[in-house]
Amino acid sequence: MGDITASPLTRTEDALGAEDARNAARELRAQRLRAFLFVLPLLIFIAFAFVAPIASMLFRSAYNPTVAELVPASLEAIEDWDGEGRPPDAVLTQFAQDLKRLANDRTSGQLAEEINRFLPGTSSVVKSTARQLRRADDAALAADGPALLLEANDAWGEPGIWRALRKAGQVYSASYYLTALDLETTRDGSIQPRDTRIYLQLYGKTLWMAFIITVLTLVLGYPLAFHMAHSSTAHANFLMVFVLLPFWTSLLVRTTSWIALLQTNGVVNSTLMALGVTNNPLELLYTQFSTIIAMTHILLPFMVLPLYSVMRGIDPSYMRAAMSMGSRPIPAFLRIYLPMSLPGLSAGALLVFIISVGYYITPALVGGTDGQMISNIIAFHMQQSNNWELAAALGSLLLVLIVALYWLYDRFVGAGNIKLG
């Protein structure tokens, strides 16, 4: 506010000057509040519709109360067990009673599925034991629980299944993150890499595919944007239609086109066979190749548009000047033009990379098993294996990756500067 009181408009009397300053400050506050009130409804809407769902997913990745809600008494009983040998008989008795109750409530399957995640192969043990205990007599269970349990399946004599139960019973745990990073906790509590690297490998593959797609869009998009930027306005606007029409065409339409083109009996194979290039149709669809080519096609406009808008602003006389002074085209391009086009290049490359890392639909439709990306495995855990916590943990890691990339984008390009066509 100092500059207001010091402005030449200020009266000489100090009292009036201070009052002016107060008025100005009040007016400023009112303007800030008014601006904020305009944004408030949307902020509330986005908080409910978008931010809260994402937050709940983050929460879910570390919070799983299912087992704790199913067998609270057993978990309490097993708490003091040292993890070696068979747990005390009281634990087995309590668990046998709990399992019978679950069997009658038809919720023993849930328990089986949860424990199975911590010790694969346990699901059938829990299910078959539950079936047998359902008919057991309450009094007999209370008196002779351990014997009945061991009779139903001798796996209950091993410590492994009980450790799995105790782990599954933790309400908050980082175990899904460990799984998502291909790590596991050993019996003494230290963390070590798992033998099979499924998820890290998939993250690596996703980043690699996104990188290839970014490079391909750059290689294809740069000359096109360059040519358009150096055409007359009318011609450039005409060529722009060829970029904007695919941009505005439904994603599923474009994916459909690639299926029609790349199918075993599709257009590409028919053409190749008619030309005599090959006698047997090539396996083009449902491969990593088809994911990459279809995504390059889909994301190319995201590269061309920012490149074009930057190149349009570069004065061509710089290049002409360099060349008239004897520079060869390639050095002139590398030292003059390329640095000037870097803002568009980084904007396009970051945008394409960010979008492709999280892509789902195209890999799901044309990728086969080979061309799947991290989003597809998240969907798999959501829909098929019903391992929502693992899906949430994998999703959270992907989110961290995207936020980091978005931060880079905002730093170098400015998120507010995104242009559409």
Piece of the chain touching another protein by CB under 8 A; list 139-147, 150-158, 240-248, 339-347: 240-248
| Residue 1 is a binding residue for another protein (CB under 8 A) | no
Q: Say whether residue 399 binds another protein (CB under 8 A).
A: yes
Would strands 191-193 and 183-185 be described as parallel, antiparallel, or unpaired? Answer: antiparallel
**Count of residues that bind another protein according to CB under 8 A:** 94
Given 64, 255, 291, 372, the residue binding another protein (CB under 8 A): 255
> What is the smallest separation between the CB atom of 388 and another protein, expressed in angstroms?
7
Nearer to another protein (CB atom), residue 103 or residue 398: 398
* Closer residue to another protein, CB minimum distance, 74 or 269: 269
Quick one: 285 exposed, middle or buried, by C-beta within 10 A (0-12, 13-18, 19+)?
buried
Q: How many CA atoms lie within 13 A of 166 on its CB side?
A: 18
- Candidates 265, 317, 369, 384; binder of another protein (CB under 8 A) is 265
What value, to the nearest 5°, has the Cα angle with vertex 270 and ends 264 and 274?
145
**Which C-beta is closer to another protein: that of 343 or that of 358?**
358
- In this complex, which beta carbon is closest to another protein, that of residue 74 or of residue 375? 375
Q: Which member of 15, 234, 253, 275 binds another protein (CB under 8 A)?
A: 253
Question: Does the footprint of another protein cover residue 402 (CB under 8 A)?
Answer: yes
391 is an interface residue for another protein by CB under 8 A:
yes
Q: Residue 67 CB, nearest distance to another protein (Å)?
A: 18
Which x/- pattern over 214-233 shows residues binding another protein (rule: CB under 8 A)? ------xx-xx-xxx-----
Residue 200 or 272: the one with the smaller Cβ distance to another protein is: 272
Site string for another protein, 27-66 (x = CB under 8 A): -x--xx-xxxxxx-xxx-xx-xxxxxxxxxx--x------
Stretch that binds another protein, among 74-82, 307-315, 323-331, 339-347 (CB under 8 A): 323-331
**121-180 positions binding another protein, by CB under 8 A:** none
Residue 143 tokens, joined: 């008196």
Query: Is position 259 an interface residue for another protein (rule: CB under 8 A)?
Result: yes
Secondary structure (H, E, C), the chain = CHHHHHCCCCCCCHHHHHHHHHHHHHHHHHHHHHHHHHHHHHHHHHHHHHHHHHHHHHHHCCECCHHHHHCHHHHHHHCCCCCCCCCCHHHHHHHHHHHHHHHHHCCHHHHHHHHHHHCCCCHHHHHHHHHHHHCCCHHHHHHHHHHHHHHHCHHHHCHHHHHHHHHHCCCECCHHHHHHCCEEECCCCCEEECCCCHHHHHHHHHHHHHHHHHHHHHHHHHHHHHHHHCCCHHHHHHHHHHHHHHHHCCHHHHHHHHHHHHCCCCHHHHHHHHCCCCCCCCCCCCCHHHHHHHHHHHHHHHHHHHHHHHHCCCCCHHHHHHHHCCCCHHHHHHHHHHHHHHHHHHHHHHHHHHHHHCCCHHHHHHCCCCCCCHHHHHHHHHHCCCCHHHHHHHHHHHHHHHHHHHHHHHHHCCHHHCCCC
Interaction of residue 421 with another protein, rule CB under 8 A: yes
Between residue 77 and residue 96, which ones bind another protein under the rule CB under 8 A?
Answer: none
| Minimum distance of another protein from residue 75's CB (angstroms) | 24
The single residue among 78, 141, 149, 365 that binds another protein, judged by CB under 8 A, is 365
The nearer residue to another protein, 152 or 310, going by C-beta atoms, is 310
- For another protein, the binding residues in 300-319 under the rule CB under 8 A are 300-301
What are the tokens at 120?
């694969």
Stretch of 99-107, 162-170, 189-197, 409-417 lying at the interface with another protein (CB under 8 A): 409-417
Q: Restricting to residues 186-205, name those near another protein by CB under 8 A.
A: none
Shortest distance in whole angstroms from residue 121 CB to another protein:
28
CA distance 285 to 367: 7
Stretch that binds another protein, among 156-164, 182-190, 341-349, 358-366 (CB under 8 A): 358-366
Position 323 contacts another protein (CB under 8 A): yes
